Structure 1
């Protein structure tokens, strides 16, 4: 662990091994994940980062509110750290919570350049516990991210080894033959849940795969705080501890009114603080299962190091449905006998009105082109819905609508305007964008005025969930109790769904706004939000 007001970090190459997989990695101070950094609110920190790679590097302090020039996005907020150079980040710590740090250069994040960052409160911590453990969830592959992207460009489902089979059809577990033919006619695959899967990924807790069995200790009867960080490149995880209820006490570093559940989905780049109270003298499994069920990692919470928790079987992989296509069946004409006529184009509503992406009246501001395959005809707010793959499990599942901010929201103003932001793609060609424009093609920034209050509507026109992250700000999800809406920096937008959040643009500068699936961001699903004073040029 690194602590204090002067910290040195060294970025370099190493070799990482888990199970039978071994390959090149990018490490910080020789470890993967990078060292835990533990800081104190209301103090100032200096972090000297030296780059020993043969390429430019950077570190972004994910979730921390820092001056724009310290945010760590090369070409946007600072020039990057060249080989052999040292850059010193310096900023005040104005809030506490569970955060993390990672590279924003190339695809170094997918090679191991990520680590946990905790800011303890200046005074007494209001979340009382007897013991705590930091859990960094991640995915790691011996195949370089650039190679993964090349394969996905050739075939969008390259890593999907869970497609529907004849045996699944005969057993009645998968779609019927008619449904399969209808989805195939739309060039859509209901098993396309994750782009990169357990076919190549090993899933890790604190750099340990299931064979290495990371173990956190407890004494029966203790109140244990788990700070869980999803630092994956491409994997959303479903997290549970069989036999223990989970009490959620913070999300993305912000305290929430305690809410109990049995399982939660942690999207890429999110953090959750959880309290558990194991009473028995036994080993409990910390289970992080990929949402496509292509693999999982088991770590152990136990009274003694030699104890090992059982490894559960992978659950049946989920299938996407009509709502994931943005077709809200509750608002649609179900046709004859309750069946939707899927022979009609997916981008045509039941009243025959064209919903084509080529009709600018349908989605103003969306740029047409080969990178946009379709619009969701009827996107709906899914914040109160169970997330992908957990729709039918027989226990409690956390939804965003369950979250209530512990403290009143700091800005009670009604937003003065709304901004629609479409998450767009041609999944078959592995092209990802925002409003039909890619970052590399010069997409225009989203301009905001300093201290302006706006409502942002994220509309997911794809059949894949997207964890969307805004740098430099917290926003309030438009769900739950008004005045105590959950404050986050990352939100997972379900397929065919929409998410609204209210934002006070209180940080002047240029801020990255992107999908935190690394390959989606690098393929173009990123924009810049500019915050300027009234009268200043954008």
Structure 2
């Protein structure tokens, strides 16, 4: 043990590392905790996974494993992640939802040079917020995310909040047939609609996994939608469940979970008290009125006594100055049925527009104009309008929205980094532009992003 650690800090570290060891199928190459800093080694590489039982599938994986390791760190404490690219193409890592410096945001050309095959890049940042986040590349996203480069990052509260049980659940449908063979990751006619859905559903890389919970356990379920396409309307059956955090941000007053949609990129923290031994709790994916099982928990005997759920402290998100806020309008729409073609006759699929503009793409020395220029420290209200019949989860890097209205109705303000716009949906979300840099701003349905629905805002 390093000299100068207090007994309290040592115990906190021990608890955190024990939590890592209990996560299903998560294997870190190395993790060390020294003088208040969390340090990890991570790689992206081709691998094999048995996603469909009895069959092997070629995947792209962090540390060669599906699911990817869940990275844990702590609010307000530095974290270092040494990332090595063992792919056959460039990549980066974006730390989705974390308000960190632009140099660490992981967007190629905009915030860092692409990490070439064989290269190592070290990400260093201090997360200001606690909660459930995730990480993924921001290059060749349809393929790299679609084939498995997705993982969860859990930022513990600065003052630990202890639940008896905690489970991180990454939700993903893979584009596989029943023999584990890859199907098309993106089909243009679907890209112009809802996106191309995968057919083989998993939680933590397993189809319908089963876990256990101790009876009476105060339980925190951290759900992360790491899918390219699908929105999951979530229900919990077999226990009274509460929404305690949305997109990594605790809500002031927990809400009873009836059904809650988490679109690609979004997260949901659920709190519940495990019922008596022998009961089953099911997390369901609702398709209209029809429930489909995602995962289940069976309760086991324990000596735990009944007690209330722990309360989560709010994150230190700057309060918007709504009186002096400037409103910016953004319309998300379909480009139409005409597909431009290049000189070789290959279609250039720009299906989606943000303010009548499709994302042009970027490269070294060729950065398009921002979709908006914002003054550092000023409050903005983003008026978001979806004029299509397909949903769009709109994600802003480097900042946290305070949602004010949904579909013309005021809501109890809550914090999020991704605002879900439903069919012809409309929302108003405010934030203080307090993090300087060029920040990506896009739909998190990956095919929508790759076919036009992306831009960036420049905070100066």
1:266 aligned residue:
262
Aligned to 1:287: 283
Q: Name 2:446's counterpart in structure 1.
A: 518
Contact 1:33 1:115 in 2 (8 A): yes
Contact 1:203 1:296 in 2 (8 A): no
For residue 389 of structure 2, the aligned residue among 463, 468, 473 is: 463
Tell me the distance in 1 between the aligned counterparts of 2:300 and 2:134.
28
Q: What is aligned with 2:204? A: 206
Is 1:255 aligned to 2:250, yes or no? yes
Counterpart residue number, 1:360: none
Tell me how far 1:203 sits from its aligned partner: 1.2
* Counterpart residue number, 1:227: 222
Alpha-carbon distance, 1:13 to partner: 0.4
Partner of 1:439: 359
106, 110, 114: which one aligns with 2:150: 114
Q: Normalising by structure 2, what TM-score?
A: 0.78
Counterparts of 1:294 and 1:9 in 2: how far apart (Å)? 39
Contact 1:412 1:483 in 2 (8 A): no
1:215 CA displacement: 2.6
Structure 2 match to 1:11 = 44
| More displaced 10-residue stretch of structure 1: 246-255 or 475-484 | 475-484
Deviation at 1:156, TM superposition (A): 3.8
Match of 1:478, SS?
A: strand
Return the offset for 1:295. 8.9
CA distance in structure 2 between the aligned counterparts of 1:295 and 1:139, rounded to whole angstroms: 16
Normalised TM-score (structure 1): 0.67
Matches of 1:31 and 1:74, distance apart in 2: 24
Shift of 1:499: 0.7
User: Structure 2 regions of 5+ residues with no counterpart?
Assistant: 1-19, 21-27, 302-311, 340-348, 362-367
Q: 1:140 aligns with which of 174, 198, 216?
A: 174
TM-aligned CA distance change 1:288 to 1:105, over 3 Å: farther
Rounded to whole Å, the distance in 2 between the matches of 1:129 and 1:148 is 38
Residue 123 (structure 1) aligned to one of 154, 159, 165? 159
Task: Give the conservation status (yes or no) of the 8 Å contact 2:163–2:218.
Answer: yes
Equivalent pair of 1:135/1:227 in contact (CA under 8 Å): yes
Q: Find 1:300's aligned residue among 296, 302, 309.
A: 296
Matches within 5 A, 1:46-445: 46-107=80-141, 108-125=144-161, 128-142=162-176, 147-149=184-186, 152-153=187-188, 155-156=189-190, 194-197=194-197, 200-210=198-208, 214-256=209-251, 257-289=253-285, 291=287, 296-303=292-299, 410-414=318-322, 415-426=324-335, 431-440=351-360, 442=368, 444-445=370-371
How many pairs does the alignment contain?
Answer: 390
For the 8 Å contact 1:468–1:514, the answer to whether it is kept is yes
CA distance in structure 2 between the aligned counterparts of 1:439 and 1:293, rounded to whole angstroms? 36
The RMSD of aligned alpha carbons is 2.9
Equivalence for 2:305: none
In 1, Cα distance between equivalents of 2:87 and 2:291: 32
Query: What is the CA–CA distance in structure 2 between the aligned matches of 1:440 and 1:145, rounded to whole Å?
Result: 29
Aligned-partner Cα distance in 2 for 1:435–1:405: 37
Structure 1 residues 444 and 64: alpha-carbon distance in aligned structure 2, compared to 1, 3 A threshold:
closer
Q: Is this contact kept in 2: 1:11–1:51, CA < 8 A?
A: yes
Match of 2:458 in 1: 530
Change (3 A) 1:483 1:460: closer
CA offsets per residue over residues 394-450 of structure 1, 9 Å max, x none?
xxxxxxxxxx99579732512432111011114756712211211126464311010
Per the alignment, in what secondary structure is the counterpart of residue 520 of structure 1?
Answer: helix
Given that 1:239 and 1:286 are in contact with CA atoms closer than 8 Å, whether structure 2 keeps it comes out as no
Give me the whole-angstrom Cα distance separating, in 1, the residues matched to 2:67 and 2:458: 32
Asked if structure 1 preserves the Cα contact closer than 8 Å seen for 2:370 and 2:457, the reply is no
Per the TM alignment, residue 491 of structure 1 is displaced from its structure 2 partner at its CA by 1.0
Q: 1:34 to 1:477 in 2, by over 3 A?
A: same
Higher alpha-carbon Rg: 1
Measured at CA, do residues 409 and 106 of structure 1 come closer, stay the same or move farther in structure 2, by a change above 3 Å? closer
